[in-house]
Amino acid sequence: MGRLLAILIWLITAGTAAFFAWSKTKTGWWFPEAISEHAAAMDSQFNLTWAVVAVAFFGAQAALGYAVWKFRSKGNERATYSEGNTRIEIVLVAITGIVFIALAITGQRVWANLHLNQAPPDAVQIEATGQQFNWYFRHPGADGRFGSTSPKLYDDTDNSVGARPGPLGIDPKDPSGKDDIFGQTLVIPINRPINLTLRAKDVTHNFYAPALRLKQDAVPGLKINLHFTATKEGKYEIACAELCGQLHHQMRAYMRVVSQAEFEKWLSENAPK
Amino acid sequence: MFSRRMIAVFLLALAVVGSAACGGNKEETAAPAAAGPTWKPTGNEGNVTGTIAFAGAAPAPKKLDTSNDGACGEAFANDVLVADGKLQNVFVYVKSGLPADANFEISATEVTLDQKGCVYMPRVLGIQAGQPLKIVNSDQTNHNIHPVPKTNREWNESQLKGQAPIIKKFAKAETQIPVKCNMHSWMLAHINVVAHPFFAVSGADGSFSIKGLPPGDYELEAWHERFGAKTLKVSVAAKADAKADFSFDAAKAYNAGSLKVQPALVLP
Amino acid sequence: MSDQVQTSHAAPKGFIRKYIFSTDHKVIGIQYFFLALVAALIGMLMSLLIRLRLAWPTERWPMLETIFPEGFKDGLMQPEFYLAMVTMHGTIMVFMVLTTAPQSGFGNYFLPIQIGARDMAFPVLNALSFWLTAVSFLVLIAALFVVGGAPLGGWTFYPTLSAIPSAGPGQALGADLWIVSIALFCVASLLGALNFITTTLNMRTSGMTLMRMPLSCWGWFTTAVIALLAFPVLLAGGILLLLDRNVGTGFFIPSGLVVSGKLIEGGGGSTILWQHLFWFFGHPEVYIAILPGMGATSHILATFARKPVFGHKAMVVAMFAIGLLGFFVWGHHMFISGMNPSVAIAFSVLTLVIGVPSAIKTFNWLGTLWGARIRFTTPMLFAIGFVSLFVAGGVTGLVLGQTALDVVFHDTHFVTGHFHLIMGVAAIFGIFAATYYWFPKMFARTMNETLGKLHFVLTFVGVYAIFIPFHVLGIAGHPRRYADSSGYEFLQALDPLHVVITIAAFATAAAQVIFLVNFFWSLFKGKRAEANPWEATTLEWSTPTPVPHENFGEVLPVVHHDPYEYSVPGATKDYVMQTEPNSF
């Protein structure tokens, strides 16, 4: 049984390695294409961590398999009596401690860029609002200011271009809201920093854009800022990653990354008449 | 020792509790019966007919943003539908004047609420308490149906692509129950549950007719989701037609949204 | 402490006093064990329903419709039913299985015996704990059958989804019952924890110093300390949520919410507050589930390695370090919740620090096997499997504990894979190891070794086949708690993986039938067990089998040795019982 178990552990370990290696070569079985400025740093931090994970996993499983193979009972022979080895213990604590904490600290750079630094002042301001089970995205229009909104004004039934108050409850009397533009698709210009303000109307949602390597809860009662820069044009998917009700899995929106010219054209086409 | 008997008893107890819990959900079906006798037509009944006029310009067609679901296709806002100065989707019903204790026969005919092109068809419907409502999903997408009543039981069910119709009943009379699909947030219908069969919804030409009313004096209410409710007194003579015309004004009583306030404190 | 006078009671005579409302810790331990067994079967069946939906989301199951008419309308599994299953599977497994079996089940039975006590410190309290847990379980099951259905907010039950009844189906009475059940469970666990701590500190027999306690006792003791500090916080949170739902207090509900077109009045609360309260409990809960398994694994590894545990003191320190640090890392569940991002950095560093004591434990288990003469009994196989799975589940914590990478992996199936390996199946392997190991003592019969080994091999391969692919789903970005991924282009390619996982899950579930057959057959027909079939050293093996009322005869045992004196050079046998007088 000892040999069988050792082989089993080794086979599982090798199988796991092979499975991950194979998955990496299959389209759609590894990371989605990355299209944001910070994604490269995130992916390289993952690769570094994944290497440590692999060493720890294979090291421990190989050693476990070896011990099981080598130290199976034979006849009446006795085991080696040993109560431990403090020196090895201390060395191990030092090594794992240093590696783990180093990983934790190197990982913070990307995080700090994302969350501790503010978006540059010329960033494109967009507000994302989650509700069961839709996303709405609002641009402030030519005046650069969002009109005030009120929950009492929410009118879900009319989400046509320029609708007031519309699903976001934009106050028709507020002049800064006159030129606000909103829709269910997030349209952003390429290579420009975007400052996204997340809101939620009912329950906690999560703005999850796999291609941007971004995920952030949209919390009722809070406005949460998130900034990023998209570096490739195209149409991408946005999902909800916080359980928000029975059709949580259908809370999908699209994000279109377009050229600056196209972005301006889109803004003028969708401006309230 | 104790093991075998104890285990047997313990497992038995769990089995009993387990099977007792398997009751399942009971749907509310019966409308509460009033104290009085069942009302029967005598042959003297009359009708009320009328039209809903609309003063002001008809709103321009508004194309909804359905871009989050490709299966929806193009959809237009249908909250205010006006043709030739006549207003569609006004719910008209006998608000008072009927004997309070009368029991009206509950129609077994199904009232259909269809989801087609991610819009409710019809947008406004009337139904008797206890009458079956048949909810159909004609779309190639998943919906959820979520009525938010005040006195009836609230429910919220998914209806998936290709799923058979759902049959529901409302136990209590209650008008203006908003029905939402949370998946397609623009989808809104209003269900009006009435204890008697004397109600109608104005058609595309703005006309309505309530048939088979016993002779008497009644108060009618006409309600539109954007323009609110209006009442009118009408007398119905034996075997005669009475007229009841309503008029709504575009400039007045624009009822933005349909927010209902939930009480903050519910004390038992 | 050890010289504590223990009064002797006569064994109760009546059937009900003896087997149902018993205050004997052994009976209560077995009651907990069977409660967990029933819960585990229910939870496992729910997971199979979950897998059905994920592999074939648009398939019709008319046969299941006859069993669950509401859940399978027109044969199609409704997304609300799927989410209810996800919620109930998580709740049942975490509370009723992983918290109940290893700690309350085996702990109740063996802690007093292993430290040489006649019973727990507070036997009546002990019975009360069990019956509260049983009521809690029934209330939880009742939530499945009430109007509106079972709650669908996930086992984390985040408001405002869980706080506002209109926010979803199953968020009506079902959600209230869920909260009541969890609140009862908190009280039961709290009483249990008090009992365990008092028993460990006060009831040890003569010579049983703290460092002479078996590591299994250290596991139960550490877990009890954690439970004492963690459960009250969840209890408080649950009561606040119940008030929010029923009297409109708004602790967790901010102002100005509109749910399905209905404006929610009141408010002024914070949804993130619940997350803090929940995870302050929730993260230590992970250790509540795994620490007794660690203790049992250490205990069993030493027995069948025929060696003392490598670094006994380091194991105790590591266990307590994990328990202590476990209270400072709850924020890693909330990196992207809207919590202050600077605080997230502190939580992240502390989270990776907790990897260090975990690495010590793994290393010491390997050290225990090094130079051993391993006897490959079924409990030993499961203990070795525990080590393997603990490593496999633990290493991915290095990914998830980092703030920046959590942005990518949060709420994806990578997390599902991670926690199922480490707190799900690793803990279950601990339970299996303990079951096979202590069965002869608990039920006075032995389980069949051939069936046991078959069960191990199939389960060991099966759980890897289920949960390794989850990591790939997560890397590809697949969010968890999705009833259907067909709406997303970037998830299309993953469909075959879901089918593979589902097949592996059904096969692994089928393998558990072998365990059930072996268990129940052995219960009634198994070979009569000797007092010390494994040639082990600790006190539970020094009492006769079956264990008499009050565990030991007239005189309590006196302890002379460390717990794992195997292969001592010069000794006549390859093991020295703790009770053996000093001259051997």
Structure confidence by residue, pLDDT tens digits, A119-173: 999 999 999 999 999 999 999 999 999 999 999 999 999 899 889 899 999 999 9
In this structure, the answer to whether residues A101 and A161 fall within a common structural domain is no
Angle between helix axes A86-111 and C341-353 (nearest 10 degrees) is 160
With beta carbons less than 8 A apart as the criterion, state whether C255 and C268 touch.
Answer: yes
* Identity of the residue in A52, A72, A132 whose CB atom sits nearest the CB atom of C398: A52
- Residues B24, B30, B35, B41, Cα dihedral to 10°: -170
Q: How many CB atoms sit inside 10 A of residue A84's CB?
A: 18
Q: Do A215 and C475 lie within an 8 Å CB cutoff?
A: no
By the CB < 8 Å criterion, does A87 face chain C?
no
By the CB < 8 Å criterion, does C73 face chain B?
yes
* Identity of the residue in C372, C388, C408 whose CB atom sits nearest the CB atom of A64: C388
Q: For residue A28, is it within any domain?
A: no
The burial of C582, by beta-carbon neighbours within 10 Å (0-12 exposed, 13-18 middle, 19 or more buried), is given as exposed
Q: How many CB atoms sit inside 10 A of residue C346's CB?
A: 13
Q: For residue A152, is it within any domain?
A: yes
B36 — pLDDT class (breaks 50, 70, 90): low
Which tokens hold the place of A71? 């130290």
CA distance A211 to A257: 11
Mean pLDDT across B224-228: 90
Query: In the predicted model, is pLDDT for residue B263 greater than 50?
Result: no
Q: Do B183 and A250 lie within an 8 Å CB cutoff?
A: yes
By the CB < 8 Å criterion, does B103 face chain C?
no
Alpha helix stretches (DSSP H) within chain B: 3-20
More confident residue, A85 or C516: C516
Q: Do A157 and B79 lie within an 8 Å CB cutoff?
A: yes
B254 — pLDDT class (breaks 50, 70, 90): low
Which chain B residues are Cβ-neighbours of C76 within 8 angstroms? 160, 162-163
CA distance A107 to chain B (A): 35
By the CB < 8 Å criterion, does C399 face chain B?
no
CA distance A176 to C92: 52
By the CB < 8 Å criterion, does C262 face chain B?
yes
By the CB < 8 Å criterion, does C270 face chain A?
yes
Are domains B45-98+198-253 and B105-196 of this chain identical in fold?
yes
Q: For residue C580, is it within any domain?
A: no
Q: For residue A248, is it within any domain?
A: yes
pLDDT at B60: 86
In this structure, the answer to whether residues A261 and A128 fall within a common structural domain is yes
Which chain B residues are Cβ-neighbours of A138 within 8 angstroms? none
Q: For residue A76, is it within any domain?
A: no
CA distance A248 to B41: 51
By the CB < 8 Å criterion, does C523 face chain A?
no
Which chain A residues are Cβ-neighbours of C336 within 8 angstroms? 206, 215-217
A-C contacts (CB, under 8 Å):
356
- How many structural domains compose chain A? 2
Task: Report whether the peptide linkage leading into residue C160 is cis, meaning its omega lies within 30 degrees of zero.
Answer: yes
Chains in contact with chain B (at least 3 beta-carbon pairs closer than 8 A)? A, C
Domain of C372, in residue numbers: 21-541
pLDDT at B74: 92
Q: How much helix, strand and coil, in percent to the nearest 5, is found in chain C?
A: 65, 5, 30
Phi and psi at residue C140, to the nearest 5°: -65, -45
* Identity of the residue in C74, C169, C261 whose CB atom sits nearest the CB atom of B163: C74
Q: Which residues of chain C have pLDDT under 70?
A: 1-11, 583-584
Sequence-separated (6 or more) residues with CB below 8 Å from residue C126: C23, C25, C28, C108, C119, C120, C192, C195
In this structure, the answer to whether residues A95 and A131 fall within a common structural domain is no
Which chain A residues are Cβ-neighbours of B257 within 8 angstroms? 152-156, 165, 169
Q: Which of C190, C196, C202 is nearest to C216 (CA)?
A: C196
- How many structural domains compose chain C? 1
**CATH fold group of domain B105-196:** Immunoglobulin-like (2.60.40)
Give the chain A residue whose CA is nearest to the CA of C254. Answer: A221
CA distance C3 to chain B (A): 30
The burial of C580, by beta-carbon neighbours within 10 Å (0-12 exposed, 13-18 middle, 19 or more buried), is given as middle
Query: In the predicted model, is pLDDT for residue B32 greater than 80?
Result: no
In this structure, the answer to whether residues A210 and A130 fall within a common structural domain is yes
Q: For residue A47, is it within any domain?
A: yes
In this structure, the answer to whether residues A158 and A239 fall within a common structural domain is yes
* Identity of the residue in A89, A131, A221 whose CB atom sits nearest the CB atom of C360: A89
With beta carbons less than 8 A apart as the criterion, state whether B173 and B180 touch.
Answer: no
By the CB < 8 Å criterion, does C142 face chain B?
yes
Q: For residue A185, is it within any domain?
A: yes
By the CB < 8 Å criterion, does C160 face chain B?
no
* Identity of the residue in A50, A239, A243 whose CB atom sits nearest the CB atom of C488: A239
CA distance C422 to B207: 68
Distance of CA C457 to the CA centre of its chain: 22
Which chain B residues are Cβ-neighbours of C73 within 8 angstroms? 157, 163-164, 166
pLDDT at A187: 97
Q: For residue C556, is it within any domain?
A: no
Q: For residue C208, is it within any domain?
A: yes
Q: For residue A27, is it within any domain?
A: no
Q: For residue C108, is it within any domain?
A: yes
Task: Report whether the peptide linkage leading into residue C95 is cis, meaning its omega lies within 30 degrees of zero.
Answer: no
Mutate to test the interface with A, among B68, B76, B145 (most CBs of A within 10 A): B68
Interface of C with A in 23-42 (CB under 8 A): none
Q: Do B25 and C31 lie within an 8 Å CB cutoff?
A: no
With beta carbons less than 8 A apart as the criterion, state whether C312 and C368 touch.
Answer: no
Q: For residue A216, is it within any domain?
A: yes
Give the chain B residue whose CA is nearest to the CA of C31. Answer: B10
Give the chain A residue whose CA is nearest to the CA of B66. Answer: A184
Give, as one character, the DSSP assignment of residue C99. Answer: I
Mean pLDDT across B198-203: 96
Which chain B residues are Cβ-neighbours of C141 within 8 angstroms? 17-18, 21
**CATH fold group of domain B45-98+198-253:** Immunoglobulin-like (2.60.40)
Which chain C residues are Cβ-neighbours of A71 within 8 angstroms? 305, 369-374
By the CB < 8 Å criterion, does B180 face chain C?
yes
CATH number at residue C477: 1.20.210.10
Q: For residue C579, is it within any domain?
A: no
Q: Which of C468, C464, C472 is nearest to C491 (CA)?
A: C472
Phi and psi at residue C425, to the nearest 5°: -75, -30
Interface of B with A in 136-175 (CB under 8 A): 142, 144, 156, 158
CA distance C317 to C314: 5
A-B contacts (CB, under 8 Å):
79
Which chain C residues are Cβ-neighbours of B182 within 8 angstroms? 260
Which tokens hold the place of B259? 């927010």
In this structure, the answer to whether residues A156 and A264 fall within a common structural domain is yes
Q: Which of C404, B260, C84, C324 is nearest to A46 (CA)?
A: C404
Indicate the SS3 state at residue B217: strand
B-C contacts (CB, under 8 Å):
123
A76 — pLDDT class (breaks 50, 70, 90): confident
Q: Do C138 and B17 lie within an 8 Å CB cutoff?
A: yes
Q: What secondary structure, in 3-state letters, does B100-163 show?
A: CCCECCCCCCCEEEEEECCEEECCEEEEECCCCEEEEECCCCCEEEEECCCCCCCCCEEECCCC
Interface of C with A in 306-335 (CB under 8 A): 306-314
In this structure, the answer to whether residues A136 and A67 fall within a common structural domain is no
A16-41: pLDDT as tens digits: 999 999 999 998 999 999 999 999 99
CA distance C228 to C314: 24
Q: Do B3 and C148 lie within an 8 Å CB cutoff?
A: no
pLDDT at C14: 75
Q: Do C457 and A56 lie within an 8 Å CB cutoff?
A: no
Q: Do C34 and B11 lie within an 8 Å CB cutoff?
A: yes
Query: In the predicted model, is pLDDT for residue A88 greater than 60?
Result: yes
CA distance C180 to C509: 30
Domain segments of chain B as ranges: 45-98+198-253, 105-196
Please give the span between the terminal C-alpha atoms of chain B, in angstroms, as a whole number.
51
More confident residue, B6 or B244: B244
Question: Within 13 Å, how many C-alpha atoms sit on residue C2's CB side?
Answer: 14
Distance of CA C559 to the CA centre of its chain: 31
Q: Which of A163, C258, A157, A133 is nearest to B259 (CA)?
A: C258
Which tokens hold the place of C89? 């599977």
Q: For residue C569, is it within any domain?
A: no
Chains in contact with chain C (at least 3 beta-carbon pairs closer than 8 A)? A, B
CA distance B109 to chain C (A): 22
Domain of A261, in residue numbers: 124-270
By the CB < 8 Å criterion, does A111 face chain C?
yes
Mutate to test the interface with C, among A1, A69, A157 (most CBs of C within 10 A): A1
Q: For residue C581, is it within any domain?
A: no
With beta carbons less than 8 A apart as the criterion, state whether A53 and C505 touch.
Answer: no
